[in-house]
Amino acid sequence: MTAESCRTYARRRTSLYAGITSTHGTGVQARMNKRSIAIVTSIHPDFDSRVWKHAKGLAGAGYEVHLVCPWNVPSGEFRNGVHFHTFKPVPRRALRPFLIPVRVLARLLPIFSHVRLVHFHDIDILPWMALISFFKPVVYDVHENYPDEMMVREWIPNFLRRVLRFGVYWVQFICSMKIRNVVLVAPSYDLGFTNSHFRKIYFRNLATLELLAGVAPDYLTRQAAVIFTGSQYLSNGTLLYLDIAEICKHTIPDVPFYMTDRFGSQTFRQQVLDSIKRRGLTNVEFLPNVKPHDLMQIMNRATIAVSPSLRVPKQIKAFRTKSCEYMAASLPILASDLPQEIEMIGDSRCGILAQPENPQSFADGIVTLVRDREYAFTLGKNGQKAFLEKYSWESELPKLLAFYGQILET
């Protein structure tokens, strides 16, 4: 499929889902236009991919969307069919439990009587949203297995991790029992939500078809380069990526290794910078952390994409949006042989699986793809085809719309 045909396909599919409700007749469309939903996020950064796709997708499907968020957008602005209600972010973690609820509620309460449903994205406001659910339907969007997260968060002392895991599990369970409506990224995040009382769906955080419009058609002629666009933290494979780059520096020294400057903490960022300097990794280069709609600009600089997640519970259970983005970009993928990757990459024949315990296995795969560009090109096209057919965010949207319909009709 050519780049132009991909863009045409994307426009048609996006138009299809923008008018998804029209397939059920004008009466349903009219009812949907009367529906108003508040989407709330307390800590997600400006135009976070999942939240912004969510808001725009609902607006395109005929909903009136109000987005309460800590983004650098003037409060009251109307953009892409979305009404913004913004507040000042709280960068210091210790202050978040005190300041975020006040700031969220200050923006949510003035529109509360107008919206039919509240859909929120962050566990830190879960108790407050449980209170809201006494008065209006609420949906809890579970992005991660939060109890297990307590075991691997770097800022949590080891002696507190099991205690926090226990506490988070039960607070989440009790509050969610009141809320009842739950959106999960994958079945592996189902910890605590197996009770039949819950009304839930699995809604994967896939990449949007809009990415296809930015794919450059020069794959076979661009300079060989490797890229890792994920967030930089230990279990996501940041240090493993440096190990791979160090091995490849001796076999393919002219191939750059790009990584996004997207760190959860300045401490870890400095650790990575020190490691790069100590190892003399002149082949490693940071790229700016761009907004989701600009992501293709940096992926067009690469010929190979890497997903070096470690074999730890958090990553084994995770669903990686970046793999879908790599597929959209028509890049062959070198990924850890974890369950989600085996299903997506192995079944789609769009890359090579390696062992995260063995950096050499990644390096060998990268060398193969650098030296056989036609093979790499074929793998990339296989991935883009799979993305078009079953791994786009638009293909998931009808599931969420049906879930809302079920909630609002009860």
What is the set of domains in the chain, with CATH numbers?
3-206+393-408 (3.40.50.2000), 209-390 (3.40.50.2000)
pLDDT in single tens digits along all 410 residues of the chain:
555 555 555 555 544 444 433 333 333 333 333 589 999 999 998 998 889 999 999 999 999 999 999 999 999 999 999 999 999 999 888 898 899 999 999 999 999 999 999 999 999 999 999 999 999 999 999 987 777 777 777 778 888 888 988 888 899 999 999 999 999 987 777 777 888 899 999 998 888 898 999 999 999 999 999 999 999 999 999 999 999 999 999 999 999 999 999 997 889 999 999 999 999 999 999 999 887 778 999 999 999 999 999 998 888 888 888 999 999 999 999 999 999 899 999 899 999 999 999 999 999 999 999 999 999 999 999 999 999 998 999 888 999 999 999 998 87
Q: Which segments of 247-387 are extended strands (E)?
A: 257-260, 284-287, 304-307, 333-336, 351-354
Residue 136, number of CB atoms within 10 A of its CB = 13
The upper half-sphere exposure of residue 219, i.e. CA atoms within 13 Å in the direction of its Cβ, equals 27
Q: Which residue has the tokens 């009367």?
A: 34
Q: Provide the pairing of β-strand 82-86 with 78-79.
A: antiparallel
* CA distances in angstroms from 162 to 49, 50, 150, 157, listed in the order given: 31, 29, 7, 10
**pTM, rounded to two decimals:** 0.77
- Write phi, then psi, for 13 (nearest 5 degrees): -65, -40
- Write phi, then psi, for 226 (nearest 5 degrees): -110, 145
Token pair, residue 388, equals 């078009």
The residues near 150 (Cβ < 8 Å, ≥ 6 apart) are 156, 161, 164, 165, 168
Q: Which residue has the tokens 């599931």?
A: 399
The residues near 390 (Cβ < 8 Å, ≥ 6 apart) are none
* CA distances in angstroms from 297 to 10, 58, 228, 302, listed in the order given: 17, 26, 14, 10
